[in-house]
Amino acid sequence: MSDITNAIKQICEEKNLSYKAVLETIESALAAAYRKDFGEKNQNIKVEFDPETAKSKVFDVKTVVDDMPEEEIVESEKLKVKSEAETKEEKKSGDDEVKKAESDVVAGVERKKLSALGGEVRSKKEKKKEADAAISSKAEAEKEKEEGGEKKAENTNLTPLETSPSPLLRKGGHRVSPAAAFEAGQEEEVRKFNPKTELQIKDAKLIKKTAKVGDIIKTKLPVPSGYGRMAAQTAKQVIIQKLREAEREMIFSEFKNKEHEVVAGVVQRREGRIVLVDLGKAVGVLPAEEQIMGERYRLGDRLKVYVKYVGVTPRGPEILLSRTSEEILRKVFYLEIPEISNGLVEIKAVAREAGKRSKVAVAATGENVDPIGSCVGQRGSRIQTIISELGGEKIDIIEYDEDIAKFIAHALAPARVLTVELNQAEKRAVVKVVEDQLSLAIGREGQNVRLAAMLTGWKLDIVGEKAEKESKQTADGGKRNENKAEEAAAKIDIEKPAPEAEAKKNEKIETEVVPANAFAPASTDRPAEVKTEPAAEKPKKEKKSKKKEKTG
């Protein structure tokens, strides 16, 4: 293995590029160096390089095309020469304008100096001449513009065939007349003969007798023993540029395959409201409209993002990220719940208001599988992981049902639904709930019913009313309570003792209460008052007790 091969492999490992891409870069660099020192004007240089022997072969590669008349070749060459001359004139005019501006600046500085010294710079005659020259130049410029507009108008009135520089239309390398192409309704594709990359068939047969239109002919060129300093510098620049392009293409293809997927990244920095996320080989952009409202992104935070779009720019691949998409919720469920990734549980629909609340409808594809339980996990372990990944967003998991009425009732959970009336034509449903469940069904700021409508795809009207069944049940319950009260009262009447027995009991109680006067405090002679509601015969008994105390 040669040193060149080892160097190529080392570059492949460092840049994560393919061996073929690096070898093509070296060949294009050698071709640029050969063109710089030894190439001619109409040569299409291609180099084949062998890294093991460090030898190269140089070819002039051309594609065989149909013969063209000499007039058309001359016309195409004239057009090329004219375009080159125009570009040169534009450059010269630009340089002249710059020189004039510089001279004007210098003249102005000199005039200021002279005026400061008190000298007279210009006379009145010179000023008049300059004013007349300025007026005449403006008039000429306006005339030129008008003439140019008239020419353009004349050109626009012509047909495409009349304005085409070449009357030859080519398709697949064969000669087609303009009239035939116009009659056939084909789009006009004017192709000029390019002597650098194309070769007419009459010239190709001189090199190869069996040449046909569309063949590629390689003419071997002498290989130089060495290159000059400028050629080597050109090759170096080509290698650096090509390696960068190959690296960008590799990164683009890698992330293009990850488009519409969830990837992990680290917050790199903020630029205003835009957050830049480091994805490893590239940096993604998280714009303000794709950020969760109220979520903070600190430097070094790890987060999962959804790759929304991957494009190509001159600076490299552009990766647009999102945290508010419904797809990120679906993809996180696929990553965190094995039953969904294995196909035992299917996500039917997702409705999301990023950062606030989401509803996910799931259904089991097999038997003996609990779709809601598998998503929630033991003690809510699985759903808590998903909630933490989405910044604490609340997630409702709902069981999907083919019956749309049942599905709507499930979607409005935790509210209890009485009836669902469907209007298939307008795809509208009237949902009746108990009055005390009305606020729960609507949710804060209409969030619950809004998410349910997004989840089911139906327009929902929530109506609160008292159910007839509940009113009947309350009436039956009241009657039963009255009957029970009457039965209890009858039992009390049966078990109630006679009035004489009650009187005797009252007398005993009262006689027992009266001695409570003995617990009066020693500092007072008056007995303690006992507040009781006396019976009808109570005053007489109190008088008798007082007489007994006096006699005693």
Of 212, 218, 219, residue with least CA distance to 172: 212
Residue 279 falls within a domain, yes or no?
yes
Residues 63 and 210 in one domain: yes
In which domain, by residue range, is 280 found?
Answer: 258-322
Task: Note whether 490 and 504 are same-domain residues.
Answer: no
Distance (Å, whole) CA 443 – CA 226:
81
pLDDT of residue 203: 83
CA 458 to each of CA 428, 449, 450: distance values in angstroms, whole numbers, following the listed order: 6, 11, 10
The reported pLDDT for the residue numbered 152 is: 44
Residues 537 and 506 in one domain: yes
User: Could you tell me if 66 and 201 are in contact, meaning their C-beta atoms sit under 8 angstroms apart?
Assistant: yes
- Closest CA relative to residue 418, chosen from 360, 365, 352, 471: 471
Quote the number of domains for the chain: 5
172 and 24 both lie in a single domain: no
Is 341 part of a structural domain of the chain?
no
Task: Identify the CATH number of the domain in which residue 315 sits.
Answer: 2.40.50.140
Indicate the pTM of the whole model. Answer: 0.55
Last residue of a domain, one of 269, 302, 322: 322
Question: Helix or strand or coil: residue 544?
Answer: helix
Q: Are 475 and 519 in the same domain? A: no
DSSP-assigned beta bridge partners for residue 270: 275
- Please tell me whether residues 262 and 317 are part of one structural domain: yes
Whether 293 is covered by a domain: the verdict is: yes
| Residues 544, 529 share a domain | yes
Query: Omega of the bond prior to 499 within 30 degrees of 0, cis?
Result: no
Nearest by Cα to 455 from 363, 322, 345? 363
Q: Look at residue 125 in the predicted model and tell me its pLDDT.
A: 53
DSSP 6-68: HHHHHHHHHHT--HHHHHHHHHHHHHHHHHHHT--TT--EEEEEETTTTEEEEEEEEEEE---
**Claim to verify: residue 272 and residue 311 sit in the same structural domain:** yes
Angle, helix 404-411 to helix 447-456, in steps of 10 degrees: 150
Q: What pLDDT shows up at residue 188? A: 44
Among residues 322, 340, 373, the one where a domain terminates is 322
Which residues lie closer than 8 Å to 467 by C-beta, 6 or more apart?
418, 434
Over residues 436-448, the pLDDT tens digits come to: 888 888 888 888 9
d(CA 295, CA 355): 8
Q: What is the mean pLDDT, run by run of 10 residues, along the chain of 552 residues? A: 84 85 89 87 87 87 80 56 57 53 51 48 54 64 56 43 41 47 48 78 83 86 86 89 87 90 92 91 91 89 92 87 91 91 91 91 88 89 90 89 90 88 89 87 89 91 68 54 58 49 44 37 39 45 45 40
